């Protein structure tokens, strides 16, 4: 699924913030009686380099398996954009012992759930199943790691599915292009500059050899983390993991990708005329430091104060008081490399887009000048505490997060410590980070206008 940035940002908040979260449980003074048991886990490396994390959790008779590969669209080269995600689709087309379409069928017809998802930094695959199907999940993941069935027919078919996904998620949606254009404008390094969904031209250019090479280089056990969370005995589970995964051969280290990003010299700006939009939209992005750094944690809290929750500044000031916007969002991400703080807003009908942008700028300027208040920061921290707890609700959520933490930051224990890191963030840090990173010269802005406002500039749909 490819969602428009703003909507995506919302849905990803949980994960983004987790990646950008940290800390301990004494966060909120009122909540001393809250107990969230520390997650005890085993962290083992098999001889072939596969990192295995086992987390027994017996509250429901289910388990989750997540295999997180250390590859995302950042690893793609020019001319082959969209490949990591296209490859993800190939992973469901069958392997040596699993027929085409059989994966969906085996998981769903045994009461489970599954999906695969790709972003800039990683590709992850997961299933959640009743506990009596432990072998099934392990077998499915091991078989495709060992011997994916790569054929021209599968490639052609999934290329079409991905192109439909792009049409559905971007080309046929209002503001679909804005999210792509914003990263393209904001980043100079190709790794994050290009979109994960990729261009239609590049998708068409992908060859069977590309698929084979990609599989060999990136889908090796030594480039993956397997996380199991749920109702199992860890000794038995580890034996099964060894049985299914232990003989998959390791591969040479994949090439490293540099994620450096030079500072901008001046604001970057672009206007899109969108034939499907009925209202304008403003999208902005500021560079912020990588995830799991003190500055990134600080910006996560700033974002809560500015734009998350109905009591946030953007909502109260821009939507409610000044009635400039019908919709606002403020969402940071937490990548392996240079990350972004996104702002997005739609003017309410009748409001000039310039006036809304001015209103947003005033809010940002006020935050830079005066900082956030201790009360606002305390509120943000309570919300983070709640998130920290909810993250443990389902085995699947926990498994995916641990896999992410391991691949992104080499620290699966962030599942336990992220709240401590968040709580360690001080008011001074938040205010210093605001001053440092919310600099106008460092931002990119994409304005979307309904094409009806200037039909001559309407782009051809789907380009």
Partner 1 sequence: MTEVKVLLARLFTDEMRIGESTMRKQLWKSTTSALFAFALFAGLILISPIARAQQGQDKSAPLSQVQRLNRAPVNKEILRVQLPRPDVQTLPNGLTLVLQEDHKLPTIAFTMWIRPGQLADPADLPGLASFTAEMLREGTERRTSAQIAQEVDQLGATLDASSRFGASFTSVNASGLISSRAQILDLMSDVVLHPAFPASELEKYKQRQEASLEERLANPNFLGQRAFRRVIYGDTPMAIASPTKESIEKLSAEDLKRFHQQHFIPGNTILGVTGDFKSAEIGALVEKYFGAWKGAAEAPLSFPTSIDPQPTKITLVDRPGSVQTYIVGGDRGVRRVDPDYYKLVVMNQVLGGGPQARLFLDLREEHSLTYGSYSRFNADIYPGDWQAFAPVRTPVTGDAMERFVYEFKRINDEPVRPSELDEAHRSIIAGFALSLEQPVQLLSDWLTVQYYGLPMDYWDKYPDRISEIDAAGVQAAAKKFVDLNHMQWVAVGDRKQIQDLLAKYGSVVAVDVTGKAEN
The H helix count followed by the E strand count for the chain is 17, 11
Contact status, residue 447 vs residue 457, Cβ threshold 8 Å: no
Least distance in Å: CB of 309 to partner 1?
4
Least distance in Å: CB of 216 to partner 1?
21
Least distance in Å: CB of 150 to partner 1?
15
Nearest to partner 1 of 258, 455 (CB atom): 455
Does an H or E element contain 83, and which?
A: helix 83-90
Q: Does 323 bind partner 1 (CB under 8 A)?
A: yes
Q: Does 329 bind partner 1 (CB under 8 A)?
A: yes
Q: Does 457 bind partner 1 (CB under 8 A)?
A: no
Interaction mask 344-363, partner 1, x per CB under 8 A: --x-xx--------------
User: Of residues 79, 101, 252, 374, which one binds partner 1 by CB under 8 A?
Assistant: 101
Tell me which stretch binds partner 1 (CB under 8 A): 3-11, 216-224, 260-268, 436-444: 3-11
Q: Does 372 bind partner 1 (CB under 8 A)?
A: no
User: Of residues 51, 74, 80, 85, which one binds partner 1 by CB under 8 A?
Assistant: 85
Does an H or E element contain 214, and which?
A: helix 208-218
Residue 16 CA to residue 158 CA, distance in Å, equals 28
Least distance in Å: CB of 7 to partner 1?
5
Tell me which stretch binds partner 1 (CB under 8 A): 209-217, 317-325, 361-369, 417-425: 317-325
φ/ψ of residue 60, rounded to 5:
-140, 150
User: Of residues 70, 186, 394, 431, which one binds partner 1 by CB under 8 A?
Assistant: 394
Q: What's the CA angle centered on 384, arms 383 and 388, to 5 degrees?
A: 120
Least distance in Å: CB of 74 to partner 1?
11
Does an H or E element contain 288, and which?
A: strand 281-288
Q: Are strands 224-230 and 51-56 parallel, antiparallel or unpaired?
A: parallel
Contact status, residue 16 vs residue 329, Cβ threshold 8 Å: no
- Binding positions for partner 1, 168-227, rule CB under 8 A: 168-169, 171-174, 179, 183, 195-197
Tell me which stretch binds partner 1 (CB under 8 A): 211-219, 265-273, 377-385, 418-426: 377-385
Chain centroid offset of residue 131 CA: 28
Taking alpha carbons only, the member of 447, 275, 442 closest to residue 347 is 447
Taking alpha carbons only, the member of 215, 179, 178 closest to residue 75 is 215
Q: Does 247 bind partner 1 (CB under 8 A)?
A: no
Nearest to partner 1 of 127, 222 (CB atom): 127
Contact status, residue 312 vs residue 268, Cβ threshold 8 Å: no
Handedness of CA 315, 321, 325, 326 (dihedral sign): positive
Contact status, residue 208 vs residue 159, Cβ threshold 8 Å: no
User: Of residues 40, 104, 355, 358, which one binds partner 1 by CB under 8 A?
Assistant: 104
Please report, to the nearest 10 degrees, the dihedral formed by the alpha carbons of residues 43, 44, 50, 54 taken in order.
-50
Question: What are the CA-CA distances from residue 68 to residues 114, 124, 197, 241, 351 (Å)?
Answer: 14, 4, 19, 15, 45
Least distance in Å: CB of 333 to partner 1?
4
Nearest to partner 1 of 50, 180 (CB atom): 180
Tell me which stretch binds partner 1 (CB under 8 A): 214-222, 300-308, 365-373, 423-431: 300-308
φ/ψ of residue 223, rounded to 5:
-115, 25
Least distance in Å: CB of 252 to partner 1?
27
Does an H or E element contain 388, and which?
A: helix 374-390
Interaction mask 251-290, partner 1, x per CB under 8 A: ------------------------xxxxx-----------
User: Of residues 2, 232, 343, 405, which one binds partner 1 by CB under 8 A?
Assistant: 2
Nearest to partner 1 of 208, 252 (CB atom): 208
Q: Does 386 bind partner 1 (CB under 8 A)?
A: yes
- Binding positions for partner 1, 119-178, rule CB under 8 A: 119-121, 126, 128-133, 135-136, 139-140, 143, 156-157, 160-165, 167-169, 171-174
Q: Does 373 bind partner 1 (CB under 8 A)?
A: no
Taking alpha carbons only, the member of 58, 126, 10, 88 closest to residue 402 is 126
Task: Please state, as a whole number, how many other Cβ atoms lie within 10 Å of the Cβ of residue 213.
Answer: 11
Size of the site for partner 1 (CB under 8 A): 137
Contact status, residue 422 vs residue 27, Cβ threshold 8 Å: yes
């Amino acid at each position: 699924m490819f969602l428009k940035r703003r909507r995506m940002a919302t849905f990803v908040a949980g994960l983004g913030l987790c990646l950008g979260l940290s800390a301990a449980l004494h966060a909120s003074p009122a909540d001393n009686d809250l107990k969230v048991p520390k997650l005890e886990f085993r962290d083992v490396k098999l001889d072939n380099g596969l990192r295995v994390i086992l987390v027994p959790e017996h509250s429901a008779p289910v388990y989750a398996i997540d295999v997180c590969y250390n590859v995302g669209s950042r690893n793609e080269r020019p001319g082959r954009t969209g490949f990591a995600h296209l490859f993800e689709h190939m992973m469901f087309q069958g392997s040596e012992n699993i027929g085409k379409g059989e994966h969906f069928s085996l998981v769903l017809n045994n009461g489970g759930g599954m999906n695969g998802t790709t972003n800039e930094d990683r590709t992850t695959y997961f299933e959640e199943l009743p506990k009596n199907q432990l072998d099934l999940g392990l077998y499915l993941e091991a078989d495709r790691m060992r011997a994916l069935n790569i054929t021209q027919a599968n490639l052609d078919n999934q290329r079409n599915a991905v192109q439909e996904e792009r049409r559905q998620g971007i080309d046929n949606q209002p503001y679909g292009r804005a999210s792509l254009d914003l990263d393209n404008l904001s980043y100079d390094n190709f790794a994050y500059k290009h979109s994960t969904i990729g261009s239609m031209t590049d998708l068409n250019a992908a060859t069977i050899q590309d698929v084979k090479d990609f599989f060999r280089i990136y889908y090796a056990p030594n480039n993956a983390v397997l996380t199991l969370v749920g109702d199992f005995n860890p000794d038995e589970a580890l034996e099964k993991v060894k049985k299914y995964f232990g003989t998959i051969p390791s591969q040479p280290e994949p090439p490293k990708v540099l994620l450096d990003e030079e500072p901008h010299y001046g604001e970057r700006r672009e206007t899109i005329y969108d034939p499907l939009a009925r209202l304008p939209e403003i999208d902005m992005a500021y560079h912020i430091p990588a995830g799991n750094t003190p500055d990134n944690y600080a910006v996560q809290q700033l974002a809560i104060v500015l734009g998350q929750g109905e009591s946030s500044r953007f909502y109260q000031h821009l939507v409610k008081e000044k009635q400039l916007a019908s919709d606002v969002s403020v969402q940071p991400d937490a990548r392996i490399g240079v990350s972004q703080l996104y702002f997005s807003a739609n003017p309410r009908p009748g409001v000039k887009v310039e006036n809304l942008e001015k209103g947003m700028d005033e809010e940002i300027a006020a935050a830079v000048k005066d900082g956030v208040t201790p009360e606002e920061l305390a509120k943000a921290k309570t919300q983070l505490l709640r998130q920290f707890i909810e993250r443990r609700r389902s085995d699947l959520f926990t498994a995916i997060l641990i896999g992410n933490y391991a691949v992104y930051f080499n620290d699966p224990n962030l599942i336990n410590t992220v709240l401590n890191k968040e709580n360690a963030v001080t008011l001074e840090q938040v205010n210093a980070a605001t001053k440092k990173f919310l600099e106008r010269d460092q931002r990119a802005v994409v304005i979307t206008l309904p094409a009806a406002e200037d039909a001559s500039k309407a782009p051809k749909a789907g380009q």
